[in-house]
Structure 1
């Protein structure tokens, strides 16, 4: 039960950070938003690591953490790019299949949930797809929709890789896992910015929200990593992926965006799935 609560807490943190990141990305370049927020997270994690004085885990564990950082960064980049050049109603539900990656890996390695949890997992993933669905659009792999599908699949692969590898990295030390993942992502971002010669410009008034995004990501990553080490990684990944619903709810409250009937049904299905997972 504690793992479920922590995973749901991760979904809340990621949902709020996604909402704030989406708002700032309307006025600032995505690379700038990512660099400032990720760098803030790295500074905070470094300070925490300095006070803990915990011994670093083995190289294999740190390697998993580094891959997790790259996976998360790739997932965010692909999702943002897909939403910018593709169709949101196609990109979002494809990206929402990310929990299938650790779930399928878990099933292949013998981590088999009970029948009720399997049903809950299926309902939660179905609800995520329905929440992101917008009627009146074609989802066939035509020339116009192919970029949306590809970017969605890349985002799902990136987030799914993070879910799976961070679970293994957290088996050593959660603090070192998060620090290594964040350091890797910031170094990768810096390399991209240098190669593309992107000029980072940000107003002082934007810094508090960008810093808050980084802090929320730290909290969410910590909650997810802990949850995945206490319970089944596939279950934790699906529950943490409910951050999509959090973002939609905030958009409805703060931006007055209206939910379509399909989204309302998707939220209800996801909540039923959460209850089924909890009961199992």
Structure 2
């Protein structure tokens, strides 16, 4: 039950982080937002390292750095796909791939959830697709490039979840330290090579800091959930994060939810309930 609560809370916080990150990208370039949120997250997790149990090790840092490289690339691919494609195609493609890969790997590694939990996983997969549907009419056509970028983004996010799960027991939050360190180096190198500015737009710093703190807070919750539950279950629950982004946009920005998105949120709640019943 603890893993379900942690993973569900993680999904809520991830969704909030995406909301604030989306607001920040309206005022600043993507690489600037990504880098500054990563730095903020690193500063947030450092004081937690000696508080929560865990010790650094080459294995913990290596798995974390691998996860950080995959996660950093995933964010960049995701924003590029959104810039060149239709949201109603890009978002479901990314979200579905990001949850399907951990589920597949978890089953290959021998994880066998209870039948009701598997039913919840199936419901959650459907919820991810429905929640990702854009509320605005899709008036444009999506070319091949954004679809490929969306698939790559989903693979990156899925790999991030998988690699963090592989960190050795007793690692605590040190894999997150390695992940954030690697992603910072990656984004900074890409900015230097591409000549892009890393200066945030006017008034964007508070929003970027909020996004960075929430993103790292969600990462901490994911690591704690992954230490207590199956990858198949935890990754699926975490991947429901777009639901909280939509609800926050509805509340703050007064954006409307369409019927498909609303049904996706309802389906997500049903999936959580089914999975929770099997873990009590």
Corresponding residue to 1:149 among 147, 150, 164: 147
Tell me which residue corresponds to 1:243: 241
Root-mean-square deviation over aligned CA pairs: 2.1
Corresponding residue to 2:188 among 187, 190, 199: 190
Tell me which residue corresponds to 1:202: 200
CA pair 170-40 structure 1, distance change in 2 beyond 3 A: farther
Tell me which residue corresponds to 1:260: 258
In structure 1, how many angstroms separate the alpha carbons of the residues matched to 2:233 and 2:42? 27
Tell me which residue corresponds to 1:74: 73
Runs of 4+ in 1 over 6 A off after TM superposition: 50-53
Tell me which residue corresponds to 1:16: 16
Q: Does 1:178 align with 2:176?
A: yes
TM-score (norm 1): 0.92
**How many corresponding residue pairs?**
276
In structure 2, how many angstroms separate the alpha carbons of the residues matched to 1:55 and 1:105? 27
- Deviation of 1:191 (Å): 0.7
Gaps spanning 5+ residues in structure 2: where? Answer: none
Tell me which residue corresponds to 1:225: 223
In structure 2, how many angstroms separate the alpha carbons of the residues matched to 1:138 and 1:26? 21
In structure 2, how many angstroms separate the alpha carbons of the residues matched to 1:32 and 1:134? 26
In structure 2, how many angstroms separate the alpha carbons of the residues matched to 1:16 and 1:46? 22
- For the 8 Å contact 1:170–1:226, the answer to whether it is kept is no
In structure 1, how many angstroms separate the alpha carbons of the residues matched to 2:54 and 2:167? 15
Gaps spanning 5+ residues in structure 1: where? Answer: none
> Cα deviation per residue 1:187-243 (whole Å; 9 max; x = unaligned)?
111111111122222357322221121111111001001101101012111111111
> Cα deviation per residue 1:87-118 (whole Å; 9 max; x = unaligned)?
11111111111111111111111101111111
In structure 2, how many angstroms separate the alpha carbons of the residues matched to 1:93 and 1:220? 21
> Cα deviation per residue 1:105-142 (whole Å; 9 max; x = unaligned)?
11111101111111100101101101112597599xxx
- For the 8 Å contact 1:170–1:177, the answer to whether it is kept is no
In structure 2, how many angstroms separate the alpha carbons of the residues matched to 1:107 and 1:5? 22
